[in-house]
């Protein structure tokens, strides 16, 4: 299943994608942050389900929906909006459903049940947890216990990542951080920054950092790891910090 999330508000995109991955972990999800990006995306790929913000900043979501309906007649289209009056407008424009911001998980379930009845009939598949990761380091294949990894960061050169462990050992690999984020999805890892993925259970403290931002430390390492401004709220939620 292929899903597109089109919204010019980054936080809304991130939150909706997070909820979709919990419900449909096998789905391929693409995103666009503007009408122009959405147009280019729809011309390159086809989708089974599209969530489209009514107001995209550079154009109306109705324009994007019209193109999607033309290119993909069988696709289901859902309007995402902060304004309840667009619920009626959604059906006038012959889209399949609507969802209000902030996104309510129960309402999202209803939308998916309505638009994807086959997905509703089957419980979401749970990805099998990985016990070990196979990484290529110095021309060797190393099987590294996932439970020993404290954090993974980009190597700074754009060629791969460095994996840090409880023992203090470091391992380099040529896989990207996005690949590791995907492989470790659902196993207690969270991407705190575009350059760093941490195992939540090893976080020791979170503290103020430069320019009103935050950083954290993990067990076995004294190096502060900066937290992206757009990621601190979700990190606190996952750690159940009020």
Q: Quick one: what percent of the chain has pLDDT higher than 70?
A: 88
Between strands 189-193 and 196-199, the pairing is antiparallel
pLDDT on residue 128: 60
Confidence of residue 1 (pLDDT cuts 50, 70, 90): confident
Residue 183 has pLDDT above 50, yes or no: yes
Please state, in angstroms and as integers, the Cα–Cα distance from residue 69 to each residue in 60, 85, 95, 108, following that order.
15, 22, 9, 21
Query: How much is the pLDDT for 235?
Result: 94
What integer is the mean pLDDT of 179-203?
92
Q: Where does CATH 2.40.50.1020 sit in the chain?
A: 132-238
Q: Given this model, what pLDDT does residue 121 score?
A: 42
Strand partners, 144: 133
- Please say whether the dihedral angle defined by the alpha carbons of residues 126, 128, 130 and 135, taken in this order, is positive or negative: negative
Say if residue 120's pLDDT is above 50. Answer: no
From residue 155, give the alpha-carbon distance in Å to each of 82, 104, 120, 137, 221. 40, 38, 41, 13, 17
**68-72, 104-108, 126-130, 149-153: which has the minimum mean pLDDT?**
126-130
Global confidence as pTM:
0.50
pLDDT in tens, 56-109: 989 888 889 989 988 998 999 999 887 666 555 555 666 888 899 889 999 999
The ranges of the chain annotated as CATH 3.40.50.2300 are 2-121
- The CATH fold assigned to 2-121 is Rossmann fold (3.40.50)
Q: At 126, is the pLDDT very low, low, confident or very high (cuts 50, 70, 90)? A: low
pLDDT category at 185 given cuts 50, 70, 90 is: confident
Close Cβ partners of 130 (under 8 Å, ≥ 6 residues apart): 146, 183, 184, 187
Task: State how far the Cα of 204 lies from the Cα of 191, in Å rounded to an integer.
Answer: 16
Topology given in CATH for the domain delimited by 132-238:
OB fold (Dihydrolipoamide Acetyltransferase, E2P) (2.40.50)
Rounded average pLDDT over 16-24: 93
């Amino acid at each position: 299943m292929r899903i597109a999330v089109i919204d010019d508000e980054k936080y809304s995109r991130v939150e909706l994608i997070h909820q979709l991955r919990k419900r449909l972990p096998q789905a391929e999800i693409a995103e666009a942050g503007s009408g122009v990006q959405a147009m280019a995306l729809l011309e390159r790929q086809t989708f089974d389900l599209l969530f489209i913000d009514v107001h995209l900043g550079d154009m109306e979501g109705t324009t994007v929906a019209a193109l999607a309906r033309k290119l993909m007649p069988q696709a289901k289209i859902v309007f995402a909006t902060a304004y309840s009056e667009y619920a009626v407008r959604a059906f006038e424009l012959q889209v399949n459903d609507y969802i209000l911001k902030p996104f309510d998980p129960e309402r999202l379930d209803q939308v998916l049940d309505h638009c994807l009845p086959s997905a509703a009939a089957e419980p979401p598949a749970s990805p099998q947890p990985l016990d070990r990761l196979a990484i290529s380091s110095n021309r060797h294949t190393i099987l590294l216990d996932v439970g020993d990894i404290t954090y993974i960061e980009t190597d700074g050169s754009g060629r791969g990542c460095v994996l840090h462990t409880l023992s203090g050992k470091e391992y380099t690999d040529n896989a990207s951080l996005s690949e590791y984020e995907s492989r470790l999805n659902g196993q207690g890892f969270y991407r705190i920054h575009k350059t760093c993925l941490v195992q939540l259970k090893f976080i020791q403290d979170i503290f103020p950092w430069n320019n009103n931002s935050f950083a954290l430390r993990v067990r076995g390492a004294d190096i502060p790891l900066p937290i992206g401004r757009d990621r601190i709220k979700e990190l606190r939620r996952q750690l159940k910090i009020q």
